[in-house]
A and B are shown apart, each in its own frame.
Chain A
Amino acid sequence: MSIKEYRTASEVRGGLILVRDTPGVAFGDRVRISDGRGGTRDGQVIRASNEEVMILVFEGTDDLDLEAVWVRFLDEPVEIALSPEILGRELNGLGEPRDGRPPILSHIRRPVGGSAINPAARSYPREFIQTGISTIDGLNSLVRGQKLPIFSGSGLPHNRLAAQIVRQAKLKDEDSSFSIVFAAMGVSYADAKFFRDEFASSGVLRNVVMFVNLADDPPVERLTLPRTALTAAEYLAYDLDRHVLVVMTDMTYYAEALREVATAKGDVPARKGYPGYLYSDLAEIYERCGRIHERHGSITMMPVVSMPSDDITHPIPDLTGYITEGQIVLSRELQNQGIYPPVHISPSLSRLMKDGIGKDDTREDHPKVAAQLYALYARALETRNLASIIGADELSERDRRYLKFADDFDQRFVGQGESEDRSIEATLNLAWELMSAFPRDALIRLSETEIAKYYQGDSG
């Protein structure tokens, strides 16, 4: 099909344009729209028939004059140009520069939509990543190729935590660092600046590619931004053999943009107005992470999901949790006690932890230490509840021990400095120190050999 321009735009609503009588336009293709005043916008075909084509306009449809609009079908999918030069750059959701520098020129162009990795070609992630954060390394370990989101709320320090992980993440006994793909969707100028400064001051900037769409940028662009960022991540991982850590913030704004467009399209809403395909759509993004047989690079993902009103059952964190391999949950209560990072371990989880830890990976006692700490902490929280009702003085000696453990655990194990990089051994040793406040017989999740080797208490 030759590239033609059409002046047959018939309708504009909420980020969408309908164009009539445009035969043979391919579903998913890229579109350029001239607004008739010298400006152009980019779009994508999201419904196609010979009679009518529906176009999603990434820059939004504000201030478009139907009479003046020209639509050009570029006869190519939405693509991004890729080269090693992308590192150190700041781009928008379509891969165009935001940093005032020239566009990326390369003969390598990839469609941003990606396609599904054949499950038979994947290899199972099992390499422990030390983040230097005890609640993650000790209890919810991250492995290369995992997607582990941070569930947070407004005002909680998810950005600081993400930045700390970016600074500290490394394989145990190995110095190779990660290349970072940073995708910002709908975040504030201040948040974007925080990351930019953070990358600059820790000297990783040359190893980072940033894709940025700010809160006041067109929301429709957020729909393509994570896909563009992941296409870049796949290039870095599988073409350039790098280990890539993708930080995406904030997936909630992405999903809200999706809802906005879905509503304009007239899609049937499922929960809270989000379309029924929100799960599949999120999965298309999250599932692009992983490891592939015989490829040297890998993609590890840490999306930030802010939970509207701290509600973990809200569709966005809920569906995310069903796709990702666990979650790190931040708690306002811990934050209010001045504990950083305020990781609430009870609802936090890492599903891929089991194969990345233990004798050959971290230390042989790691799996059972984690199970034991969880059990003690669950009991300690119950005791804390009880104490708040009947008063700590009424507790038995056994219970008072749990109460003290809860406080020590929060202060010493959960709490750590923003620049404190704890080795996994330090984390496990700290765990034993805390557990040794209990008599041996209370530690039934641990084996007798482990107790003999590491237990530091004196009571029987």
Chain B
Amino acid sequence: MSEQQNKGFVREINGPIVTIDLPGIRSGEQVRIGELGLVGEVISLAGREAVVQTYESTDGVRPGEPAEGLGWPLSVELGPGLLGEIFDGIQRPLEKIALESGDYIRRGLALPGLDREKRWEFEPNPELAPGQSIGPGTVLGTVQETETIQHRILVPPDHQGELTELAPGGEYRVEDSIAHLRDAHGHSLHLTLFHRWPVRKPRPYRQRDDGISPLITGQRVIDSFFPQLKGGKGAVPGPFGAGKTVVQQQIARWSNADIVIYVGCGERGNELVDVLESFPQLEDPYTGRKLMEKTLLVANTSNMPVVAREASVYVGLTMAEYYRDMGYDVVMLADSTSRWAEALREVSGRLGQMPVEEGYPAYLASRLAAVYERAGRVETYNAGAGSVTLIGAVSPPGGDFSEPVTSHTKDIIETFWALSKELADARHYPSIDWVTSFSGHVHAAAEWWHKEVDRHWEGRRTEALALLARDAELSRIVNLVGPEALSDAQRWQLEGASLIKEGVLQQSALDEVDTFCSPQKQFALLDLALSTYDKGMTLIEIGVPVSHLQDLPQLAKARRCKSMYTSEQVARINDLAREIDEAFESIRLEYAKQHTDD
């Protein structure tokens, strides 16, 4: 394809959709449009004409302005320097954009994702020598990207051949050549610290593996009730105000993943700033280092161009897969996938495609499934294990979970953390509803919990959920006829459920102590609530009136102790359990004495 052929002109502008006359262009190819050089992507072809969706506003573009094909599809740069960065929906570094164009994003800016000037200390792989055959995933060497994360420089998935030269240790820029290989055709290729990968093409791996260990998030209702495995896919649906963003941010802050990728897809500018300002201050509870050292952000706020919003999810996923290929456990949070789906709808609407449900195109379900399928735990090409856990927020219109995006998502994911408006209105946070939420990973997670924390975990979890279900039944009766109709035992069941709700499920993201809860503390709190309930029940069975128990000051303490004791002070929670035991025991003795006196 000669230079000449790859130039064309604009025919029509309809918002972000531009029709260009450019023979020889390929579907999916990147295009630069107009005098400003706005970036876009070809989404359909008909004869000489191509329909392009542009990632930037097309105000001021005229028919007849030039259009130019770039020769490659939407790709991201993968190499050291990603962590700690904040990118827009097409991997332009936002902080550098701010330096170039001020407070507002100027159109047509072309800035590479990775810093070209920064030098990295490259340590070649001592096991490699010229003459060896290398292929996808071969570790050429390492770069210490941040204090905690060692960046493995891999042979890209589409390269194979004989290593002819490996650079010695030293400082290199991302574009500097660090290795040469000769491929099967005898061509010599050079490899740099980074490579490009098209975002819509999943990165390959050797094989898919089952998940084995849970992603610990420090959030009790997630870890203890609806666990998610590393490499799993989950969704957080909820109406506005139910706390989706806080749940996602809590996972980003406290999960035990090696790498966190947070994609703000069509979300609020001010909330992204909250992430930007607070993450650099926060400490990773597992390594004690700054959280930003293992985090990267992709930000496309709701007022940024809609097409880049659609791209942002793929951009995030590709970077997630890249770190997975190095053998890391990556968690990617997409907030929100509904905005992504709406971007699809907006583009398909502009193209005049036939809508099926609520204006969404027919390919909504298949696209959604394809996105979520990029999560998983895999055996990488270099025989390591890595995973991408994908957690998507869903924003159903009117909080209606039967709408297309929520219902299609529900079919694909394994963990469903349904947020409830009623709980949020009562300021019960996280407002994850224990009735409608589910996890397909309980069994697998139980193995881990039984080995690492306590062998009663699965049993206790089941008991707690059963008590909560009983509570829902009894509450219906109470709402009809009042609490007086209940027996003492039933009222104690309500009390027990409320202990679980207030002492275990509720967890304040704003409370310094309670915001993160170690698995050990999680189990201690759950066990405290349940054993209090069990003991109380034995007293009620021998005739102790329920009001005797309800007034115990220790119950208020049991509700409050989640924020009184840190994860290091689990012993204090067990002390409280003993204290409650003793209080109950003395009630029992007193009661027995009264009855023998009678």
Contacts and interface: CB of A to CB of B under 8 A. Distances in A.
Interface of A: 1, 23-29, 46-50, 77, 111, 113-125, 145-146, 238, 267-271, 275-277, 279-280, 283-284, 286-288, 290, 292-293, 295, 312-315, 318-319, 321-327, 346-347, 349, 351-352, 354-355, 367, 371, 374-375, 378-379, 382, 385-386, 389-390, 394-396, 399, 440-442, 444, 447
A269 B349 CA distance: 8
Interface in B545-560: 551, 553, 555-556, 559-560
Nearest to B61: A27
B425 A389 contact: no
Contacts, number: 236
B63 A24 contact: yes
B55 to A, nearest CB: 12
Given A122-B273, A271-B359, A290-B269, A444 B12 contact: no
Nearest to A53: B63
B86 A327 contact: no
B272 A119 contact: yes
Contact of B241 (A47, A117, A347): A347
Contacts of A371: 427, 508
B13 interface: yes
Among all A-B residue pairs, the 4 with the closest Cβ atoms = A313-B398, A378-B426, A283-B302, A270-B359
Interface in B129-163: none
A118 B98 contact: yes
A295 B232 CA distance: 43
A378 B427 contact: yes
A78 to B, nearest CB: 10
B384 to A, nearest CB: 34
Contact of B397 (A29, A271, A379): A271
B64 interface: yes
A390 B269 CA distance: 48
A27 B11 CA distance: 12
Given A116-B105, A371-B508, A396-B484, A277 B64 contact: no
B12 A115 contact: no
Given A268-B355, A354-B510, A385 B271 contact: no
B46 interface: no
B58 interface: yes
B284 interface: no
Given A115-B105, A120-B276, A269-B359, A351 B271 contact: yes
Nearest to B479: A386
B395 A322 contact: yes
A276 B482 contact: no
Nearest to A441: B556
Most A C-beta atoms less than 10 A away, residue of B14, B264, B303, B395:
B303
Contacts of A284: 303
A28 B59 contact: yes
Nearest to A285: B303
B502 interface: yes
Contacts of B210: none
Interface in B66-95: 86, 94-95
A444 B302 contact: no
Given A24-B63, A275-B349, A292-B103, A122 B270 contact: yes
B88 to A, nearest CB: 8
A120 B349 CA distance: 31
A395 B481 CA distance: 10
Contact of A276 (B63, B98, B342, B478): B342
B427 A374 contact: yes
Nearest to A371: B427
Contacts of B478: 386
20 contacts: A27-B60, A28-B60, A29-B60, A48-B12, A117-B269, A118-B97, A118-B98, A118-B102, A118-B105, A119-B276, A122-B270, A277-B15, A280-B302, A280-B306, A283-B301, A287-B303, A290-B269, A318-B398, A323-B268, A324-B268
Nearest to B305: A116
Contacts of A120: 86, 94-95, 97-98, 276, 299
Contacts of A122: 269-270, 272-273
B305 to A, nearest CB: 8
A50 B86 contact: no
B487 to A, nearest CB: 15
B426 A375 contact: yes
A287 B302 contact: yes
B108 interface: no
Contacts of B555: 441
B352 interface: yes
Nearest to A262: B349
Most A C-beta atoms less than 10 A away, residue of B97, B302, B305:
B302
Nearest to B246: A351
Contacts of A378: 425-427
Interface string B553-585: 101100110010000000000000000000000
A438 B241 CA distance: 28
A288 B302 CA distance: 11
B438 interface: no
Given A49-B11, A267-B349, A444-B559, A121 B102 contact: yes
A46 B428 CA distance: 46
Interface string B247-275: 00000000000000000101011111110
Give the interface residue-count category, chain B. 35 or more
Contacts of A442: 556
A273 to B, nearest CB: 10
A299 to B, nearest CB: 11
B481 A24 contact: no
Given A374-B426, A385-B479, A327 B241 contact: yes
Nearest to B425: A346
Contacts of A28: 58-60
Interface in B164-181: none
A398 B14 CA distance: 64
A47 B510 CA distance: 48
A278 to B, nearest CB: 9
Given A323-B302, A374-B427, A399-B483, A49 B63 contact: yes
Given A124-B270, A378-B426, A378-B427, 6 more contacts: A50-B63, A118-B98, A269-B359, A275-B349, A276-B342, A277-B346
A269 B64 CA distance: 31
B494 to A, nearest CB: 12
Interface string B210-253: 00000000000000000000000000000111000100000000
Given A268-B349, A271-B397, A117 B425 contact: no
Given A29-B60, A385-B479, A123 B13 contact: no
Given A125-B270, A280-B302, A326-B241, A118 B103 contact: yes
A280 B269 CA distance: 13
A48 B62 contact: yes
Contacts of A319: 397
Most A C-beta atoms less than 10 A away, residue of B304, B427, B428:
B427
Contacts of B301: 116, 119, 283, 287
A215 B63 CA distance: 37
B271 A325 contact: yes
B37 interface: no
A47 B426 contact: no
B479 A295 contact: no
Given A24-B64, A275-B349, A444-B560, A47 B14 contact: yes
B497 to A, nearest CB: 14
Contact of B304 (A116, A124, A322, A440): A116
Contacts of A386: 478-479, 482
Nearest to B423: A378
B270 A77 contact: no
B483 A396 contact: yes
Interface string B14-29: 1100010000000000
B406 to A, nearest CB: 14
A97 B425 CA distance: 45
A132 B56 CA distance: 42
Contact of A271 (B86, B273, B353, B358): B358
